[in-house]
Amino acid sequence: MRGEDGHQRTYGPIVRPYTITGGRTRTTLQELELETLVSTTSLGQVELPRLNMERREIAALCRDILSVAEVSARLSVTLGVARVLVGDMAEEGLVQVHRPASQNNSSDIALLERVLYGLRAL
Protein backbone atom coordinates (compact mmCIF):
# COMPACT_ATOMS: atom_id res chain seq x y z
CA MET A 1 0.00 0.00 0.00
CA ARG A 2 1.32 3.44 -0.87
CA GLY A 3 0.79 6.52 1.29
CA GLU A 4 -0.22 9.96 0.01
CA ASP A 5 3.47 10.82 -0.37
CA GLY A 6 3.99 7.87 -2.74
CA HIS A 7 6.20 5.91 -0.34
CA GLN A 8 5.54 2.24 0.30
CA ARG A 9 3.78 1.61 3.64
CA THR A 10 3.89 -1.67 5.47
CA TYR A 11 1.51 -2.41 8.25
CA GLY A 12 1.59 -5.30 10.68
CA PRO A 13 -1.38 -7.58 11.17
CA ILE A 14 -4.37 -5.89 12.73
CA VAL A 15 -5.62 -7.78 15.77
CA ARG A 16 -8.67 -6.53 17.61
CA PRO A 17 -8.19 -6.15 21.39
CA TYR A 18 -11.12 -8.47 22.15
CA THR A 19 -9.33 -11.21 20.21
CA ILE A 20 -6.29 -10.98 22.49
CA THR A 21 -8.40 -11.16 25.66
CA GLY A 22 -10.97 -13.66 24.43
CA GLY A 23 -13.67 -11.00 24.50
CA ARG A 24 -13.16 -10.21 28.16
CA THR A 25 -12.73 -6.70 29.50
CA ARG A 26 -12.02 -7.71 33.10
CA THR A 27 -10.15 -10.33 35.05
CA THR A 28 -11.28 -11.87 38.33
CA LEU A 29 -8.61 -9.85 40.13
CA GLN A 30 -9.61 -6.49 41.50
CA GLU A 31 -9.01 -3.74 38.90
CA LEU A 32 -5.27 -3.28 38.42
CA GLU A 33 -4.20 0.34 38.76
CA LEU A 34 -2.01 1.70 35.98
CA GLU A 35 0.86 2.15 38.43
CA THR A 36 0.68 -1.46 39.70
CA LEU A 37 4.10 -3.03 39.27
CA VAL A 38 4.51 -6.40 37.56
CA SER A 39 7.40 -8.86 37.79
CA THR A 40 7.87 -12.29 36.21
CA THR A 41 7.90 -15.22 38.63
CA SER A 42 10.18 -18.23 38.37
CA LEU A 43 7.19 -20.19 36.97
CA GLY A 44 6.77 -17.47 34.33
CA GLN A 45 10.43 -17.85 33.37
CA VAL A 46 10.09 -21.63 33.03
CA GLU A 47 6.85 -21.41 31.04
CA LEU A 48 8.10 -18.59 28.76
CA PRO A 49 8.69 -20.76 25.65
CA ARG A 50 5.20 -22.28 25.89
CA LEU A 51 3.27 -19.01 26.28
CA ASN A 52 1.37 -17.32 23.46
CA MET A 53 2.94 -14.23 21.89
CA GLU A 54 1.44 -11.54 24.14
CA ARG A 55 2.05 -13.47 27.35
CA ARG A 56 5.59 -14.33 26.27
CA GLU A 57 6.27 -10.64 25.64
CA ILE A 58 4.88 -9.66 29.04
CA ALA A 59 6.92 -12.33 30.82
CA ALA A 60 10.08 -11.22 29.00
CA LEU A 61 9.43 -7.52 29.63
CA CYS A 62 8.65 -8.01 33.30
CA ARG A 63 11.96 -9.65 34.07
CA ASP A 64 12.63 -6.01 34.89
CA ILE A 65 9.80 -4.69 37.03
CA LEU A 66 7.36 -2.60 34.96
CA SER A 67 4.07 -0.90 35.67
CA VAL A 68 0.86 -2.02 33.97
CA ALA A 69 0.95 1.28 32.05
CA GLU A 70 4.47 0.52 30.78
CA VAL A 71 3.42 -2.98 29.73
CA SER A 72 0.53 -1.45 27.81
CA ALA A 73 2.78 1.07 26.07
CA ARG A 74 5.55 -1.39 25.20
CA LEU A 75 3.11 -3.94 23.78
CA SER A 76 1.14 -1.20 21.97
CA VAL A 77 -2.13 -2.47 23.44
CA THR A 78 -4.81 -0.59 25.34
CA LEU A 79 -4.59 -0.33 29.10
CA GLY A 80 -7.68 -2.56 29.38
CA VAL A 81 -6.04 -5.34 27.37
CA ALA A 82 -2.85 -5.08 29.43
CA ARG A 83 -4.88 -5.26 32.65
CA VAL A 84 -6.69 -8.42 31.52
CA LEU A 85 -3.51 -10.15 30.32
CA VAL A 86 -1.51 -9.24 33.43
CA GLY A 87 -4.43 -10.20 35.69
CA ASP A 88 -4.78 -13.58 34.01
CA MET A 89 -1.05 -14.19 34.26
CA ALA A 90 -1.06 -13.24 37.95
CA GLU A 91 -3.88 -15.71 38.63
CA GLU A 92 -1.81 -18.43 36.94
CA GLY A 93 1.31 -17.54 38.94
CA LEU A 94 3.28 -16.41 35.87
CA VAL A 95 3.73 -12.85 37.15
CA GLN A 96 3.46 -11.20 40.51
CA VAL A 97 1.66 -7.90 40.95
CA HIS A 98 2.85 -5.33 43.47
CA ARG A 99 0.01 -2.96 44.21
CA PRO A 100 0.59 0.64 45.28
CA ALA A 101 0.70 1.21 49.04
CA SER A 102 -2.16 3.71 49.12
CA GLN A 103 -5.48 2.15 48.12
CA ASN A 104 -7.70 5.10 49.07
CA ASN A 105 -9.56 7.17 46.49
CA SER A 106 -8.21 10.56 47.53
CA SER A 107 -6.05 12.50 45.10
CA ASP A 108 -2.37 11.91 45.65
CA ILE A 109 -0.46 14.74 43.99
CA ALA A 110 2.88 12.91 44.18
CA LEU A 111 1.40 9.88 42.42
CA LEU A 112 -0.17 12.03 39.72
CA GLU A 113 3.16 13.79 39.16
CA ARG A 114 4.96 10.43 38.81
CA VAL A 115 2.36 9.23 36.32
CA LEU A 116 2.63 12.46 34.32
CA TYR A 117 6.42 12.17 34.34
CA GLY A 118 6.18 8.56 33.14
CA LEU A 119 3.76 9.45 30.37
CA ARG A 120 6.01 12.25 29.17
CA ALA A 121 8.94 9.84 29.12
CA LEU A 122 7.06 7.56 26.70
- C-beta of residue 77 within 8 angstroms of C-beta of residue 86: no
pLDDT of residue 28: 63
SS3 content of the chain, % helix, strand, coil (to 5): 45, 10, 45
pLDDT of residue 22: 55
pLDDT of residue 12: 47
Q: Would you write out the chain's pLDDT as a tens digit for each of its 122 residues?
A: 444 555 554 444 555 555 555 555 566 666 788 888 999 999 999 999 999 888 999 999 999 999 999 999 998 888 888 998 999 999 999 999 988 765 555 556 666 777 777 777 66
